[in-house]
Amino acid sequence: MQDAIFVLFVSLVLTGSLSGPAAAAEKEAAAPGAASEAPQPPSESAAAVPAPIGKAEIVKSIEFEGNRKFKAHVLRERLGFQLGDRLDPFLAEGGRVTIMEVYRKVGYPSVKVTLDRDKLADGHLLYVIEEGPRVQVASIEFAGNDSFRARTLRQVIKLKQRKWLLWSTYYTEEAVKEDTDRLRDFYYGQGYLDYKITSQTEFTDEGDRVHVIFIIEEGPVYHVSDIVFTGQTKYTDEQLRAKIKVKEGDVYKKPKVEKDAKEVANLYREQGYVDAEVRQGPKFTAQTEDFLVAVTFTIREGKQFRIGQLDVTGNDTTKDKAIRRILDEYGFTPGALYNAKIAPKEGGGLLEKYIQRGVIADQTMIRPVNPAPGSDPNSRDARVDIKEGMTGMIRPGVGFSSDSGVIGQLIYEQRNFDIGDVPKSWDEVLFPWKAWRGGGERFSVRLEPGTRYSAYSVNFVDPYWNDQPVTLDVLGRSWKWFRESYDENRLKGAFEFEQRMADYWRRSIGFRAEHVRIGELDFDAPQEIRDVKGNSDLFGVKFGVGKTAVDDLYDPTKGWRADASYEQVTGDFTFGLLEATAVRYISLHEDVLGRRTVLSGKVQAGTTVGEAPPFEKYYAGGSGRYGIRGFEYRGVSRRGLQTNVVNPERKDPIGSDWIFLAKSEVVVPLIGQNFNGLFFVDSGTVDSGSYRLSIGTGIEIKVPQIFGNVPMRFELGFPLLKSDGDQTQVFSFSGGGLF
């Protein structure tokens, strides 16, 4: 309050509203009364404004006394003026207020700052600081919260109280005010439209700790009495009702109804109504004692537009066609209806995300623009703005997982590769990341020596082969596994075509040629392994079909996907592999930050057709493709009888002819957007033993800048059902990072 009085005084002086000694005396007389309503804890009363300086002076020095929290150079940077500037007494006094705000924002509510008036006249600024105690939040309590537990409300607010071994949280008036507003939004969103929420603070006698109390009067919860649509001409009420989930009799929950409004808007936007807006609001009924509201969806349809001219800007390196191919696949092309559902005019649409991921851009924006004069009035031009990012890198690193151990990494990767962009100078030959880029393709060379697994590979992927929605994946790879009773070496060459068709169907065909060497057998290796010792050559052709129907290809929260494939293999062994996978995603909850708790369920099955060698059969366990957490990698399998021992046992895995897995997992957001908790149930069986079942929990950390869409995971799995010979493992982990 004192600071506000000072600002008002300065404004009046500068505008000439007050002048002369009488006016100054009048202002001083008014100030004390206004200051009597200052908030707690009390702060220093505003100092008198320094008298004007008789002649032009400059700032000769800026000094501070009593500043233990902040160094002098930090405070000088906040003042807004520096040595050598013209000395302005009003700016000097404003600096005093600024210093107080700097302290208050980090937990010093009782800070006092004074300006030495005697030295000011000579151009020397000396700020004397009495910091006072830094106030910790000792406790946070809620009063009157009959409908929600304190634990729930603590998740709504950001202010936290100090806990054992955790960093302290410090008190600021702004933080308490913001959390009060958050609680108000929360209660309103849960249907408590008559809420009253205030906050109260109680400081300890020492002044270094504060107890924060949020006082809540919940009031009644309101229900929906009626649903009304206004402003629509294209769709009937029945068609619009089919898009919303709120029903008569439901509790009025603002987030839920806002989501319904967005769904109705998307119904229009998908059909070219670029400017369509839908607003919802509760209307109180006459029967106020029944606590009912009518939900009104007010629709502004706007005009229906087709896409006129489509411009791409900002792509200095990325070829224009690399971006347009993505637009074409999703039907965002000139002449088509302007789909503002996947490319809304306010930004943040899925199409922007797909382009950003496709060409590894730092930012992508798609905006409608008005067409040039004389153009079709029923069309809207669109501009795609690209801010290019770093797409090529050479990085050393380390990967780790409980399945494959520790792996060293030296990786060259170009995620916006262009096989046609050959080097044009010796500089580009010596520094290959300066060439071969801009086509939206991906190329990588990976050297990964490890403790249990080593791999060396070259991979090229063109997601739009021949400018069609067809992915060409070419792989050359050599790797070595140190298996339980033998070493397995493979040299593989493979390529695959996958065509993406209408309605999110896809089909694929792939070929592989592989040389396998089984050697370094243990003395007791089972006979099944001894039978395949040496070199083998395999040649396979694989056919696949699948469909994806999810809300987001990269981070699905609802929908499903399914795949099925058959591979016929010939060479030194002749057999087939028939496999299928189905995954379902369900969004269970969306919090106030828009983060979703997602339940996913997966069913997998595979079987050999004919007699496959052990190195091509199925092994379950671990956290990989056929993982059952709580069991070791390859820990669930048929086991071979030892050889060359007196009392042989079935010890080492030799693979199973078929496998079935059923798993479910719930991922819960914890901190920010990239730190989640998870709970899972894994189960399955193979052609030997009983049914296996495990439950567990873990954490998930996403680092998309480094690992793309694959998160780091640390998981604890506890087997509840297992079979004789199974190898269990409670802790599993996977991830990688840079040195």
The pLDDT tens digits of the residues spanning 232-273 come to 999 999 999 999 999 999 999 998 999 999 999 999 999 999
Residue 562, pLDDT score: 97
pLDDT of 432 over the 70 cut = no
Q: What is the pLDDT of residues 574-592, one digit of tens each?
A: 999 999 999 999 999 877 6
Asked whether residue 9 carries a pLDDT value surpassing 50, the answer given is no
Q: Which of 331, 279, 334, 333 is nearest to 301 (CA)?
A: 279
Query: Is it the case that residue 15 has pLDDT exceeding 50?
Result: no
| pLDDT category of residue 288 using cuts at 50, 70 and 90 | low
- pLDDT above 90 for 447: yes
Sheet holding 277-284, edge to edge: 223-230, 292-300, 277-284
Q: What is the mean pLDDT of residues 319-341?
A: 95
pLDDT at 433: 63
- What is the third-level CATH fold of 136-217? Ubiquitin-like (UB roll) (3.10.20)
Q: What is the mean pLDDT of the chain?
A: 87
Query: Which has the minimum average pLDDT: 49-58, 112-121, 392-401?
Result: 49-58
Q: pLDDT value at position 430? A: 66
Residue 179 pLDDT > 70: yes
Domain 555-738 sits in CATH at 2.40.160.50
**Residue 293 pLDDT > 60, yes or no?**
yes
Position 100 scores a pLDDT of 95
- Amino acid 4: pLDDT: 44
Rg (CA), the chain: 34
> In this predicted structure, what is the pLDDT of residue 549?
94
CA 519 to chain CA centroid, nearest Å: 45
What was the pLDDT predicted at 503? 86
pLDDT of residue 708: 53
Q: What is the pLDDT of residue 6?
A: 42
pLDDT of residue 561: 97
Quick one: pLDDT band at residue 167, thresholds 50, 70, 90? Answer: low
CA distance 310 to 324: 9
Asked if the model's pLDDT at residue 736 lies above 60, the reply is no
What is the token pair recorded at 690? 């009983």
Which has the minimum average pLDDT: 174-178, 354-358, 373-377, 584-588?
A: 373-377
The dotted CATH code for 306-388 is 3.10.20.310
Q: Indicate if the pLDDT at residue 682 is higher than 90.
A: yes
Is the Cβ–Cβ distance between 217 and 195 less than 8 Å? yes
Whole-prediction pTM value?
0.75
**Each residue of 195-229: pLDDT tens digit?**
999 999 999 988 889 999 999 999 999 999 999 99
Judged against a pLDDT cut of 60, whether residue 419 lies above it is answered with yes
CATH number of 2-130: 3.10.20.310
Q: What share of the chain in percent tops pLDDT 90?
A: 68
The pLDDT of residue 20 is 37
Choose between 381 and 389: higher pLDDT. Answer: 381
From residue 388, give the alpha-carbon distance in Å to each of 316, 362, 419, 422: 8, 6, 19, 20
Q: Superfamily assignment of 223-300 in CATH? A: membrane protein fhac (3.10.20.310)
Question: Range(s) for CATH 3.10.20.310 in the chain?
Answer: 2-130, 136-217, 223-300, 306-388
The predicted structure's pLDDT at residue 39: 38
Angle made by CA atoms 131, 137, 143, in degrees to the nearest 5? 135
